[in-house]
Structure 1
Amino acid sequence: MKLGLEGKHALVTGSSNGLGAEIARVLAAEGAAVIVHGRDARRATDVAVAIRDDGGAASVAIGDLATDVGADAVAAAIGDTPIDILVNNLGIYDPEATWSSTSAGDWLDIYNTNVGSSVRMIQRFVPGMRGRGWGRVIQISSVLGQLPAASQPHYAATNAARNNLAASLAHELKASGVTSNAVAAGGILTTPVRELLTGLAPANGWGEDWPEIERNAVAALGPNDVGRIGRPREYADLVAFLASPLSGYLTGATLRADGGWYDH
């Protein structure tokens, strides 16, 4: 499907690896000129080079978005390029975190990164979208924002905030031509996730081959109706649709892409 992204400029935060890199690749394949963001210049450059090798347009912006200085550095690297699509993908998590192991400071730190980074980018790039009369702002959150578990309470809370942020911003931008939405992701099958689950399989009796491990790990850790983990491309395709002119009537929404995840 042609999504009409030719001539658009997209900034994808946290796109030097994982889901962010896949989103950048898909947007570029659809014709957008992509800015790959990260804190590690080498990794971000590798993603941008791979995109260009595939015929896409990509540049790099480096900065720690948990700080105003880092956000300013990203804005300076982008310069006068008009950002039409902002994908706030950057986020951190700690699967071993519990209520007893997280301090109030830990809660503030993760909020600053997972929510504050989005706010910093919105403040720097959305006014330009509003002035031009067109734009797309997309938050990448987690289903845990709606279905929190006992573990990672601070991470779940930041994702609830991301969803709320998207809805509030949509009201702020009403009738401006700029939309604001969130994608609440379930599991994402990145290489580190597959390696982690394969390593955990023997002690948990999940089997030996990957299809069996995946099925049993999903049932134990994040049960859903599809019965598997979401692939990065599946999420990236949804983001590309939200970034396109085809999604113009969709704003203020949190789209759960989680295989029918249910609370266990």
Structure 2
Amino acid sequence: MRKAVNDWAFRRFWPLERWMAEAREAGFTAVECNAGPEPESYLKPGMTGGELDAVRRSADEAGVEIASLSTAQLNEWRLTSGSRDERAKSENLIRFMIEAAHRLGARTVLVVPGMVTPDTGYDEAYARAMDSLRRLAAEASAAGVVIGVENVPGNRFLLSPLEFRRFIDEADSPALRVYLDIGNVLPLGFPEQWIRLMAGRLAAVQAKDMREGAGALPLLAGDVNWPAVAAALKETGFAGTVTATPPAFLHYPRQVMRDTASQLAAILVE
């Protein structure tokens, strides 16, 4: 399994090149870049091929692989929205991520599948997400990229591991897999059980710790049973990337990077 780190908590401290270099020095062999319109984002929709090539050169120089791309924007632009314009924005952002991933050599793009709301029924959300993701998966397959669908309990959608697995199987595409957020499982069940139920369907894993009433916490500080998670990953033969996503912090980014790397290393050695 490859150890990776997401840029979200670090990008306000360092430019891209420094973040990648710090990640490698801490012991990570891969990174995950967020795509979005925020000023501090390393990847912005509309970047040219030349700009993306420069990002890849930075990774090569730092000695890290860009394993995956993610975005927070899909919680605002939803594939399940009743608005065609909003769904189009969401699909176009995912298309940018697919194209960028292909150019950057990344294997996976993380996609939030949508949300159930007072105006969007569960059945409508399911049908819209399925329709969009089937079409996008065909484009991802052509680009040699996999879409990893993330579990987000606060979105009230795909809440059961059996339902989530059925959704992936019904899509019937090797380019549409599960991007399992370990911490996000806790409000609904036990991560090690989800891992076993998703065997053969995992594109990537996000390592995040949580505690009820406290939200996201540093690895090993929450309620995740990490030895059971590590055992389930090995038992099911998962050989992909495990990406740490530390919560927001105010100071000492180098120490947070090193702590996160050592915590993830301890988990994966179990």
Report the TM-score, using the length of structure 2 for normalisation: 0.39
Larger Rg: 1
